[in-house]
């Protein structure tokens, strides 16, 4: 078997980015319902546009990778995985749409999502925060708050929360965890020092 070629890596990176983003959208969409939060629902819609762009880039990468005829089935598999992420993103966007249309979420919906006990928080990192300049690994956010960072929004970009990503001023941390952790996360990201 031939060793993996470079294009494969780029294609798979893009696919995983699509996968992660569509899953992030699901978490955000359900949370936007629970909290009746326009801000989170809007984030979902912005991500939907982002996914559309990513998906196009992904398909172009696959189609321009110069695969051989006998490899076409494998590449079809890849294309279809891409379509799946798009479908999930659409579903998330429909859920967020309920909030954006100003329909007061039915009490049943809140109960359903609360059942999960987890919540999503969206917190901006202040210049004075002790997190600035630290990598995610060193920031120890789960240890301090019980919240797990799902994504870091930096301007128009959403960054995957790899351990060596450095936290910068103005970053928005999108994190999930038990509801009680949110306050701790807000404190950590703001100027206040608690120790």
Partner 1 sequence: MVHLEKVEYKPIPVRDLLVEMKDISELMIDLAYSAALFHSPELAEEVLELEEHIDKLAYILGMNAMLAARDAEDAEALVGVSVVAAAANKISDAAADIAAIVLQEIGIHPIVREAFQKVEERLIRVAVKPGSILTGQRLEELELAARIGVDIIAIRRGKRWILNPDDEETAREKDVLVARGAPMGVEEFKRLADGTVQKLED
Q: What is the DSSP string of 2-29?
A: PPPPHHHHHHHHHHHHHHHHHHHHHHHH
Q: Which is nearer to partner 1, 1 or 195 (CB)?
A: 1
As a whole number of angstroms, the distance between CA 178 and CA 152 comes to 19
Nearest one of 155, 165, 143, 153 to 28, comparing CA atoms:
153
Task: Tell me the Cα Rg of the chain.
Answer: 19
Nearest one of 180, 12, 145, 28 to 89, comparing CA atoms:
28
The reply on whether position 143 binds partner 1 by CB under 8 A is yes
Q: Provide, rounded to whole angstroms, the least separation between the CB of residue 111 and partner 1.
A: 5
Binding part of the chain for partner 1, among 44-52, 120-128, 140-148, 184-192 by CB under 8 A, reads 140-148
The reply on whether position 12 binds partner 1 by CB under 8 A is yes
Burial 69-95 (b: 16+ CB within 10 A, else e): eeeeeeeeebeeebeebbebbeebbeb
Cα 136 to Cα 21, 34, 59, 133, distances in angstroms: 19, 28, 31, 10
The encoded tokens of residue 170 equal 């103005």
Q: Provide, rounded to whole angstroms, the least separation between the CB of residue 108 and partner 1.
A: 5
Site for partner 1 in 31-90 (CB under 8 A): 33, 71, 73-74, 76-78, 80-81, 83-84, 87-88, 90
Binding part of the chain for partner 1, among 15-23, 53-61, 123-131, 183-191 by CB under 8 A, reads 15-23
- String of contacts with partner 1 for each residue 86-115, x by CB under 8 A: -xx-xxx-xx-xx----xxxx-xx-xxx-x
Residues that bind partner 1 (CB under 8 A): 1-2, 4, 8-9, 11-13, 15-16, 19-20, 23, 26, 29-30, 33, 71, 73-74, 76-78, 80-81, 83-84, 87-88, 90-92, 94-95, 97-98, 103-106, 108-109, 111-113, 115-116, 136-137, 142-143, 146, 148-150, 161-163, 177-178
């Amino acid at each position: 078997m031939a060793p993996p070629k470079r294009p494969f890596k780029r294609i798979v990176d893009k696919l995983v980015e699509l996968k992660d983003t569509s899953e992030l959208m699901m978490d955000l969409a359900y949370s936007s319902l629970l909290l009746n939060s326009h801000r989170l629902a809007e984030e979902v819609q912005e991500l939907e546009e982002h996914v559309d762009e990513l998906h196009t880039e992904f398909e172009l990468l696959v189609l321009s990778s110069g695969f051989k005829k006998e490899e076409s089935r494998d590449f079809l598999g890849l294309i279809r995985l891409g379509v799946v992420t798009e479908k999930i993103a659409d579903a998330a966007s429909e859920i967020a749409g309920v909030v954006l249309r100003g329909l007061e979420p039915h009490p049943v919906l809140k109960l359903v999502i609360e059942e999960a006990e987890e919540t999503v928080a969206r917190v901006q990192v202040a210049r004075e925060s002790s997190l600035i300049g630290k990598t995610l690994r060193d920031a120890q956010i789960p240890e301090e708050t019980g919240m797990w960072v799902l994504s870091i929004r930096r301007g128009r970009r959403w960054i995957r929360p790899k351990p060596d990503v450095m936290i910068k001023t103005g970053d928005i941390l999108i994190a999930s965890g038990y509801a009680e952790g949110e306050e701790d996360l807000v404190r950590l990201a703001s100027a206040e020092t608690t120790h």
